[in-house]
Structure 1
Amino acid sequence: MAIRPIIRFPDPLLGIAAETVGRFDEDLRQLAEDLLDTMRAAPGIGITAPHIGVLRRVTVIELDRKAAPRTFINPEIVWRSSETARHSEGSVSMPGISEEVERPASVRVRYQTLTGEPAEEEADGLMAVCLQHEIDQLDGIFWTRRLSRLKRERAEKRFKKS
């Protein structure tokens, strides 16, 4: 277990799509543990391997420390609700900055477990927001790209000053 350095915005690695994981081994389990430790230290509620410079489709989400953290390997959204919701979002790669983002209120995600088993589940509320946010990052879409140009420029300017 290790806390790894987090890549900061505007590092170009944050705009590159992550590669599909094909090997489900001890290295993958170690990466997931390191992601959890790094996310908790940040602090945050979600993190992807690209946040620490590893371009692999791995994300860890922990909405509540009382519940077990969740690891999603090769996640993809297979359904989105037409209903939307707004939620404040930010990033461990852009600490201290948040803005409201509108996204589908519910999603269905297909992914693999740490052992490679296929899984699928529906999520709503904060878990739906986190899954969409982290899957965007795995696709090379930094969260500020979901903002209007004005809000994005304002957020980036605030971050540069911090």
Structure 2
Amino acid sequence: MALLEILHFPDPRLRIQAKPVKQVDENISKIVDDMFETMYEAPGIGLAATQVNIHLRIIVIDLSAEKNQPLCLINPLILNSEGVTCTEEGCLSVPGIFESVERADQITVQALNQQGESYTLTTENLLSVCIQHEMDHLQGKLFVDYLSLIKRERIRKKLLKQKRQVAV
């Protein structure tokens, strides 16, 4: 397994739309393993392949405190959504920034697991929000896109300034 580099906003590679996985094979399984390792190390609760410059429709999530409930979604598709919730979100690609975003409270999603088996999952609350957040990444969308242009620009400038300070 290997740690992957997490791209940070406003990196233009975060805007690339992910392509469907054609076949779940050893290469895809290794990518999933590397994504889990990267997410746990960061630490985070969700990671989309786009965030590590792999433009395939792969998401990994683990909401457990013990980091022992890994969930892999390959080629996820939301079949149904209900209700509305407004939750404060953060993102490994937008470090240190937390803002409230409105999303569906409950979703039903269909995906493939790491073995390439199809499954359907109905979920709500944090897991629902996390899946929607990560699925946005697969479309080249970030949670800051839900914010006003002024807020988004302020965040962009702040992160670029931090990056320059680290580089010095």
State TM-score, norm by structure 1: 0.93
- Counterpart Cα distance in 2 of 1:100 and 1:161: 23
- Give 3-state SS (helix, strand or coil) of 2:79's partner: strand
Task: Report deviation, 1:143.
Answer: 1.5
Number of positions where the alignment pairs a residue of Structure 1 with one of Structure 2: 161
Match in the other structure for 1:76: 77
> Structure 2: any 5+ residue segments left out of the alignment?
163-168
1:124 is aligned to 124
Letter in 2 for 1:99: E
- Stretch moving more, 145-154 or 60-69: 145-154
Match of 1:33?
33
Task: Quote the Cα distance in structure 2 between the aligned partners of 1:120 and 1:151.
Answer: 36
Residue 155 of structure 1 deviates from its aligned partner by: 2.8
Matched, 1:87 2:90: no
> Considering only aligned residues, what root-mean-square deviation do their CA atoms show, in Å?
1.3
2:131 maps to amino acid: L
**1:156: how far off?**
2.5
C-alpha separation in 2, matches of 1:158 and 1:147: 15
Q: Percent identity?
A: 38
Aligned-partner Cα distance in 2 for 1:10–1:46: 19
How far did residue 84 of structure 1 move?
A: 0.9
Question: 1:7 is matched by which residue type in structure 2?
Answer: L
TM score, norm. by length of structure 2: 0.90
The 4+ residue runs of structure 1 with deviation greater than 3 A are none
Deviations 1:113-149 (A, max 9, x none): 1222211111101000000000010111112112232
CA distance in 2, matches of 1:28, 1:134: 18
- Name stretches of at least 5 consecutive residues in structure 1 with no aligned partner: none
Q: Which residue of 2 aligns with 1:99?
A: 99
Paired amino acid for 2:63: L
2:54 aligns with: 54
Asked whether the equivalents of residues 49 and 59 of structure 1 are also in contact (C-alpha less than 8 Å), the reply is yes
Between the aligned partners of 1:37 and 1:17, the Cα distance in structure 2 is 23
| Aligned residue in 2 for 1:44 | 44
Matched, 1:160 2:157: no
CA displacement at 1:49 relative to structure 2: 0.9
Residue number in structure 2 paired with 1:5 = 5
Deviation at 1:160, TM superposition (A): 3.0
